[in-house]
């Protein structure tokens, strides 16, 4: 069916939705989302292709494209997902090559600074997969400038510890404006992705406001840049300003208990052929996503096997300060202990060579190189995770 | 009294108000405003210095400092005011040298774009007097960059016809955030002026939202870049996008009728020793300020003589497109006709050499070079306006 192929390959015209923005009126994106090339249906979109055999260019009937759903945080998740897409698009198997990937993004790192709604994890995934990421820092835009930030500093308008580049600010302006005009975070994300075309369906975990707050232990200000602790701060202040060096007594995704999953999230979990947990922070990224009522239940009860990649290698986090987060909940920084956080649903677990395998009954553990130090290694790691997901038996998760 | 001099000359420390901003909590500036050098009391501030003789360095008693209030629009008003300050600060007369200048700024050009509250006239005065203006364009910041704007364009987020530089955006972010957190435009302006120290007390005409809207005549789209007219647009769209080339059937400061003057505005009018009208647009700048209930009445009934500078030379506006505005209200573009708009209170009027003097009874007209082509000419023009204000008899404005 050349038509089907042609439809998939049709480049999108200037996005309708963005032209609407020019009218200065509230923008309500098509709830089925954009239909551009490489961009599966948006939030709430039907999966009408499901069950329809796909033929390749020779007219040979192929297996149904895989549906893969990942729960992801920021930098580590984004890099893993880039490897996953590279693996899929280069695959000789049409079911993988045509696979639809949905990413459920943590939004509890979101923060409002200078009146701008900033969604660090959504943006890290969007920029990384869309080719706009700063490869050196791993976050923010490439070839960024700081014209606005320097002026904000000249006004004495803080905080100074959170870097906002000019290009990045444009993203936040579009998002903030849409939210102010009544759009949801899902809709704003879909509009932003119209430009970046990340090649995945990118969904916030919720359209409700959830913010991770951290109760700081009392500490000696002389040792912590004047911070005495003993107070509650936004996650970003703990993470970025204090480098998570002040011990956290308690980490809480405020608002999560009353949040509802964003449109498409539960369906993406329950209709997936494979659920993947990239090496994202088990507490403040994946843990937070799972704390939105309904999501963990869908993961546990859904039919898809779940395979994760350990964010811990040899007792230390691969990136970031996951050890500080794990300590706050009394969990050791080991690959085995992190697997324990997912014990109610995890079917497969990739750990680094030399790391101890967890002994969870029914859990299939494989040792693999986990350091995503280059595209080849990352692609291989993502492929291994998918291979394992398609190989393991979904374990019995008796209700 | 050295103490008094010393107080005036004390450089301000890091602004208290701006440090408050760093707390991410709503900022409520001291209602008496900042007390920095060269920066008279803020909105609602007492004029406790009034009536107290001032001594110069030799201990000689000087006349009380003059209190001068100006109603101003954007670029033209700002340049005139810079000339006025230059005249005052260089004056050998302590009453002028120490004069306190209050500027009541038009805010009906204000517009919200990309969710940012933009106050073009306030900013033009603030940047021009604070040394941050782009001297070539006459508006916006010097050495400006467009990192954000190019990204907004890449998102297709309009409008494309309004230029927002990176530095300028920082100003709008501070203002927008303060307004969102419950501060008034007066308070936001005071905080911004803490940095710019314009040397005047800069007051918005009102803290309420007033927006000038324009009813466009129906026109041939082929002659107007696709604009067919026959609709109502924001002033900025008419002025910036359409260059006021589509005739205006009606220009209305929407919201003015129910607005109240900002704190300090009426007092600045009624307690002034001289009221000055710079060569600002008589319809959409000065006319709009006067349309806020109470302001025109205060000008008419107050004790201060009123002197204006014609914004029209030889039948054409000095800058901008005031002719298009005057046409919409059926007033010819002549210095005499503009004076007629102020007939109920105008005592003195400066017109260009060769321009016909209005014949309004009791109005003193002087011919002067009006083109503010260089600082010397501008300073002389401002000095002439003040000279005239202090020389004319305030005419009888029988109630």
Enter the ipTM: 0.83
The torsion angle over the Cα atoms of residues B377, B379, B384 and B389, rounded to 10 degrees, is 150
- Confidence band for B57, pLDDT divided at 50, 70 and 90: low
Cα(A136)–Cα(A125) distance, integer angstroms = 15
Please, which residues have CB within 8 angstroms of residue B369's CB and are 6 or more apart in sequence? B352, B353, B377, B380, B381
Cα of first residue to Cα of last residue in chain A, in angstroms, is 43
**Phi, psi (deg, nearest 5) at residue A392:** -75, 155
Residue A199: is it exposed, middle or buried by C-beta count within 10 angstroms (0-12/13-18/19+)? Answer: buried
Mean pLDDT value across chain B: 87
What is the DSSP secondary-structure string of A165-194?
-HHHHHHHHHHHHHHHTT--HHHHHHHHHH
Domain range B65-210+255-398, CATH class: alpha beta
CB B284 within 8 A of CB B251: yes
Distance CA A68, CA A103 (A): 9
Does residue B215 sit in helix, strand or coil? strand
> What is d(CA B198, CA B129) in angstroms, rounded to the nearest whole number?
5
pTM for the whole structure? 0.84
In chain B, what are the domain boundaries? 65-210+255-398, 211-252
Q: Is A195 on the interface with B (CB under 8 A)?
A: yes
Is the per-residue pLDDT at A44 higher than 70?
Answer: no
Q: Identify any residues that bridge with A206 across adjacent strands, giving them in sequence order.
A: A261
Residue of B nearest to A188 (CA): B155
Structure confidence at residue B345 (pLDDT) = 96
**Does the pLDDT of residue B260 top 50, yes or no?**
yes
Q: Could you tell me which chain A residue has the CA closest to the CA of B19?
A: A156
Q: Whole-angstrom distance between the N-terminal and C-terminal Cα of chain B?
A: 43
- Identify the bridge partners of residue A352 per DSSP, sorted by sequence position: A368
Residues of B with Cβ-Cβ distance to A152 under 8 angstroms: 170, 173-174
CA angle at B141 for the pair B140 and B144, rounded to the nearest 5° = 115
Query: CA-CA distance, A291 to A299, in Å (whole number)?
Result: 12
Identify the helix (H) or strand (E) that includes residue A102: strand A100-105
> B349 near B310, Cβ under 8 Å?
yes
CA pair distance B238, B225, nearest whole angstrom? 12
CB pairs under 8 A between A and B: 130
- Residue B63: the pLDDT is 78
- Confidence tier at B17 by pLDDT (50, 70, 90): very low
Contact A105, A204 (CB under 8 A): yes
pLDDT digits over A372-383, tens only?
A: 999 999 999 999
pLDDT digits (tens, 9 = 90+) for A203-260: 999 999 999 999 999 999 999 989 999 999 999 999 999 999 999 999 999 999 999 9
Cα-Cα-Cα-Cα dihedral sign, residues A379, A385, A390, A391: positive
Phi, psi of B365 (to 5 degrees): -115, 135
Contacts of B320 (CB under 8 A, 6+ apart): B75, B76, B281
Percent of chain A past pLDDT 70, that is, above it, reads 84
Residues of A in contact with B145 (CB under 8 A): 145, 147, 166
pLDDT of residue B38: 37
B257: buried, middle or exposed (CB in 10 Å: 19+, 13-18, 0-12)? Answer: exposed
Under 8 Å between Cβ of B308 and B80: no
Mean pLDDT of chain A: 87
Closest-CA distance of chain A to residue B9, Å: 22
Distance from CA of A167 to the nearest CA of B (A): 5
Closest CA to A361 of A333, A399, A397: A397
Question: Locate tokens 């990118």: which residue?
Answer: A202
């Amino acid at each position: 069916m050349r038509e089907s192929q042609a439809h998939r390959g049709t480049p999108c015209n200037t996005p309708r939705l963005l032209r609407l923005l020019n009218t200065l009126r509230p923008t309500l994106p098509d709830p089925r989302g954009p239909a551009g090339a490489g961009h599966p249906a948006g939030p709430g979109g039907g999966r009408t292709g499901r069950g329809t055999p796909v033929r390749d260019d020779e007219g040979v009937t192929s297996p149904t494209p895989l549906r893969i759903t990942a729960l992801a945080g920021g930098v580590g998740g984004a890099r893993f997902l880039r490897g996953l897409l590279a693996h899929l698009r280069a695959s000789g198997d049409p079911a993988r090559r045509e696979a639809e990937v949905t990413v459920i993004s943590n939004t509890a790192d979101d923060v409002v600074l200078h009146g701008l709604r900033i969604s660090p994890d959504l943006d890290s995934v969007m920029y990384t997969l869309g080719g706009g990421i700063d490869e050196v820092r791993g976050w923010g835009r490439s070839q960024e400038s700081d014209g606005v930030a320097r002026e904000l500093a000249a006004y004495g308008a803080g905080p100074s510890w959170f870097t906002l580049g000019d290009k990045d600010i444009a993203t936040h302006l579009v998002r903030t404006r849409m939210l102010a005009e009544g759009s949801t975070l899902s809709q704003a994300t879909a509009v932003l992705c119209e430009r970046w075309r990340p090649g995945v369906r990118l969904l916030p975990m919720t359209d409700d406001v959830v913010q991770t707050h951290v109760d700081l232990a009392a500490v000696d200000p002389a040792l912590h840049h004047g911070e005495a602790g003993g107070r509650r701060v936004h996650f970003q202040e703990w993470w970025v300003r204090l480098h998570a060096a002040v011990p956290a007594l308690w980490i809480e995704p405020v608002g999560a208990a009353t949040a509802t999953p964003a449109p498409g999230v539960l369906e993406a979990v329950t209709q997936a052929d494979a659920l993947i947990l990239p090496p994202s922070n088990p507490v403040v990224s994946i843990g937070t996503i799972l704390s939105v009522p309904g999501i963990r239940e869908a993961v546990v009860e859904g039919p898809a096997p779940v395979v994760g990649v350990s964010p811990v290698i040899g007792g230390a986090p691969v990136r970031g300060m996951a050890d500080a987060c794990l300590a706050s909940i009394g969990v050791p920084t080991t690959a085995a202990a992190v697997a324990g956080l997912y014990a109610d649903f995890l079917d497969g677990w990739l750990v680094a060579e030399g790391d101890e395998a967890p002994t969870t009954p029914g859990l299939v553990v494989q040792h693999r190189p986990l350091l995503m130090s280059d595209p080849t290694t990352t692609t291989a790691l993502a492929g291994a995770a998918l291979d394992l997901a398609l190989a393991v038996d979904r374990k019995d998760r008796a209700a």
